[in-house]
């Protein structure tokens, strides 16, 4: 029987495997693969792990993993409510357990104690685990005075059809990996370790294109067939940290424990695919404002070409319609509002009418949701052509603290401050 003190990577032997070359956040990721052979314990030949399996994301750092990490091919979102009677002490113990487990799993190591061995044969596979706190967490732990003002409930939007049982939550966990078994292993481990301290409120599963599925790194497509993630803020942008992360030095806006953290807005957006797919390609492009084939604006160029909002065509009509989704969501049309979109697609079967329950697990990150998500969504709510083909069915807003330093657990500065 395998010794669980040895990492999965050492069990497999990764000599000769190359590192994974990752692109900018928003769906672009390159890959490299190694196919050299190594001998297994029986004397036979076994191929070394490719870079897909060996890629490792660090748990400790200034920011939590899973924010600027390129989006993975498999994702799980899960929200918990603290159990009756559980408070600050229980929450601290839970975050300590979860952080220890997340660190091990992200390093490609089994869970301490009784591991399920679900991912025994795999490497880390770019696994990330990210933790956040919902509005109710602070009341349950007696920390209301430490609750950020930015965590106030989101306003109502006319397009909302929200299921409260699949919205909100005291604690939120985002899991991403480039291998489905590695991702599920983390989901199962964290759910088991919640024990009597917290119970699952809701859970959702998502997916994206796998690294290496395209001939070159490309921005991902959503289930409408549209390139989704163009012009996402990039870590190389001068104002990236200002837009996405809470300042390291307290400025009076956020509590000190949120330094280096971010706010995640989570929306389950169902796509009415049967209606969408009845549209001709040209009609779909007018709804979005971009060409379906390559993501370029209707005014010409490539995916990254600046959209010419005032350009007109035959009859003097605007080439990019006034209600086109890409026009409405541009930062320069929303007072500079920007957010880092990091979504997963989902498919949860078919409803009683035979229509697919499928769409987008929309996740966006920003330093302040009142300056990021809210103004853009309000504008979309007033006249986005895409609104006819989507339905917002669940929602959550979570304060995601900065990363844990060496020897710390996530949220320690809040829970022990």
Tokens of residue 136, six digits: 């109710």
Q: Contact, 9 vs 123, CB < 8 A?
A: yes
Tokens of residue 257, six digits: 């424990």
Q: What is the largest CA-CA distance in the chain?
A: 75
Burial bucket for residue 236 (CB in 10 Å: 0-12, 13-18, 19+)? exposed
Burial bucket for residue 8 (CB in 10 Å: 0-12, 13-18, 19+)? buried
Q: Contact, 256 vs 250, CB < 8 A?
A: yes
Question: How many CB atoms sit inside 10 A of residue 370's CB?
Answer: 15
The SS3 assignment for 100 reads helix
Q: Contact, 35 vs 46, CB < 8 A?
A: no
Among 3, 133, 176, 73, which residue's Cα sits nearest to residue 413? 133
Helices 88-106 and 180-194: crossing angle, nearest 10°?
A: 160
Burial 321-334 (b: 16+ CB within 10 A, else e): bebbbbbbbbeeeb
**Would you call 40 a catalytic residue per the annotation?**
no
Burial bucket for residue 79 (CB in 10 Å: 0-12, 13-18, 19+)? buried
Catalytic residue among 81, 170, 228, 368: 228
Among 24, 38, 104, which residue's Cα sits nearest to residue 70? 24
Sign of CA dihedral 312, 313, 318, 324: negative
The set of catalytic residues is: 228
């Amino acid at each position: 029987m395998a010794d669980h003190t040895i990492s999965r990577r050492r069990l497999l032997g990764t000599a000769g495997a190359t590192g994974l070359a990752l692109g900018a956040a928003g769906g672009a990721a390159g890959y490299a693969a190694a196919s050299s052979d190594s001998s297994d314990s029986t004397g036979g030949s076994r191929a070394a792990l490719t870079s897909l399996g060996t890629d490792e994301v660090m748990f400790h750092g200034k920011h939590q993993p899973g924010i600027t990490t390129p989006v993975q091919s498999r994702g799980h979102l899960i929200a918990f409510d603290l159990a009756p009677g559980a408070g600050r002490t229980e929450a601290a113990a839970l975050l300590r357990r979860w952080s220890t487990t997340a660190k091990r799993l992200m390093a490609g190591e089994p869970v301490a104690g009784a591991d399920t061995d679900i991912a025994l044969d795999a490497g880390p596979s770019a696994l990330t685990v990210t933790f956040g706190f919902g509005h109710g967490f602070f009341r349950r732990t007696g920390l209301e005075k430490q609750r950020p003002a930015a965590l106030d409930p989101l306003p109502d939007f006319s397009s909302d059809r929200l299921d409260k049982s699949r919205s909100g939550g005291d604690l939120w966990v985002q899991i991403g990996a480039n291998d489905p078994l590695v991702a599920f292993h983390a989901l199962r481990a964290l759910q088991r370790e919640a024990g009597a301290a917290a119970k699952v409120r809701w859970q959702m599963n998502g997916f994206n294109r796998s690294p290496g599925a395209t001939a070159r790194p490309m921005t991902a497509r959503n289930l409408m067939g549209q390139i989704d993630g163009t012009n996402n803020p990039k870590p190389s942008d001068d104002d990236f940290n200002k837009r996405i992360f809470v300042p390291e030095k307290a400025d009076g806006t956020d509590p000190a424990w949120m330094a280096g953290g971010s706010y995640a807005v989570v929306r389950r957006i169902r796509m009415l695919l049967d209606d969408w797919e009845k549209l001709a390609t040209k009609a779909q492009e007018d709804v979005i404002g971009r060409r379906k084939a390559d993501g370029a604006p209707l005014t010409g160029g490539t995916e990254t070409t600046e959209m010419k909002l005032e350009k007109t065509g035959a009859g003097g009509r605007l080439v990019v319609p006034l209600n086109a989704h890409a026009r409405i969501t541009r930062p320069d049309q929303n007072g500079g509002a920007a957010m880092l979109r990091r979504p997963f697609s989902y498919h949860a079967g078919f409803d009683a009418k035979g229509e697919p329950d499928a769409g987008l697990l929309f996740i966006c990150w920003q330093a302040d949701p009142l300056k990021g998500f809210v103004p853009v969504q309000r504008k979309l709510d007033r006249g986005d052509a895409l609104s006819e083909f989507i339905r917002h069915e669940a929602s959550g807003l979570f304060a995601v603290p900065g990363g844990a330093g060496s020897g710390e657990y996530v949220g320690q500065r809040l829970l022990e401050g």
